[in-house]
Amino acid sequence: MRVLVKEVNWLGDLVISLPALHAVRGSASDGRVAVLVRRELAGFFDGFDWVEVLPYAFRPGVRGLLDRWRLARDLRARGFDLAVLFPKSFDAALLVALARIPRRLGWRSDGRGILLTQAVPLPRERERHQSEDYLELLGHLRTGVAAAETPLLPVAPRQRDEMAAWLARRRANPSAPLIALAVAAAYGPAKEWPAEHFAALIDLLATAGCECVLVGAPDERDRCAAVASASRAGALVVAGETGIGETIGLLSLCQGFAGNDSGATHVAAALGVPTVAVFGSTEPRRTGPRGGRTRILYQRIACSPCLARTCRYGHYDCLRAITPTHVVEALADLGAIASPA
């Protein structure tokens, strides 16, 4: 059976969907799965030797309708037997229906049930981790799939080597432990630990003999540069210079990681890097990074979790209550750095 998986649209969600992607692999006749994913996220799969990546991008307006029709035609020509839709959007269901894929499995949401051959009611359990939702969806396949443990994220050797060369050119002290920091979050400031806390963290890590590198998307570079400038020790800034594949390669070379609830944080945890995640408005039981080398710092207050992009009270106390010392201690507990004196 030829299987197409329509993947989710955010980096962190891609990581969360990994156990389900591994599970659905077992229903493919040759052990290979094709994934349909936004073009800017395609690099996430560079290290996978059993995934065929089908990147796409839709132009705005009427031209986007033409892009969708062409993509549906191309998918139809590939002869898929089964489409599994991780996103809940109408657009995803319409695309695989236009492609005439015989079996189309997805959540019954957004008025799209008629477009699916197996429309599954949305999960009611909101306390469990989101990764379990995807596995529940797969449980409705008639062929059945085996649940997978949370897998490590594979790294493309070429990109690891490229980022090792980048670090060799930029680092002041190559023998020092390298700690990556993700200081921004696309969702909004209710997910962002204060910039001054990150600057203080850089200086505390420098005192512990570490160097820091700040990762992020192009539109996060200014915040990264401001944080690095606000610290006394300074830090490397790679935000905006790498795609997702290169970022994965870079993070795999780090001895530790600290960041907001963001895609990079999920990637670091999936790589097995000692990872400290600072949570604010969101619920870590639902969307926290997973893995044995992960520590989540979360200060639940009266309004937690609000799930908002901005704090309606303007104080961001859930984030401010977590101090740079807390992060340093967590990194030490995970073995990323030496224990502070």
- Where does the pLDDT of residue 25 fall: very low under 50, low under 70, confident under 90, or very high at 90 and above? confident
Exposed / middle / buried, residue 21 (Cβ in 10 Å: 0-12, 13-18, 19+): buried
pLDDT reported for residue 330: 97
User: Which pLDDT value is given to residue 307?
Assistant: 86
Q: How many angstroms separate the CA atoms of 264 and 248, rounded?
A: 8
- Preceding peptide of 305 cis, ω within 30°: yes
Per-residue model confidence as pLDDT tens digits over 27-55: 787 889 999 999 999 999 999 999 999 99
Q: Which pLDDT score is estimated for 59?
A: 95
Q: Which domains does the chain have, with CATH numbers?
A: 3-138 (3.40.50.2000), 157-333 (3.40.50.2000)
Contact between 266 and 151 under an 8 Å Cβ cutoff? The reply is no
For the question of whether the overall pTM of this predicted structure is more than 0.85, the answer is yes
Question: Is-contact 81 102, C-beta < 8 A?
Answer: yes
Contact 288/296 with Cβ under 8 angstroms? yes
Helix (H) or strand (E) holding 268: helix 263-270
Q: Is the pLDDT of residue 146 over 80?
A: no
Cα 282 from Cα 64, distance rounded (Å): 33
Q: 133 vs 122, 241, 261, CA distance in Å?
A: 9, 34, 19
DSSP H or E run through 205: helix 195-207
What is the per-residue pLDDT across 216-258, written as a single tens digit (0 to 9) for each?
999 999 999 999 999 999 999 999 999 999 999 999 999 999 9
% of the chain surpassing 90 pLDDT: 84
- Over residues 120-126, the mean pLDDT reads 85
Grade residue 143 by pLDDT with cuts at 50, 70 and 90.
low
More confident call, 141 vs 195: 195
What are the strands, taking DSSP E only, across 7-138?
33-38, 51-56, 82-85, 103-107, 118-120
Taking 60 as the threshold, does the pLDDT of residue 148 lie above it?
no
CA distance between the termini of the chain: 58
What local confidence, expressed as pLDDT, does residue 340 receive?
Answer: 77
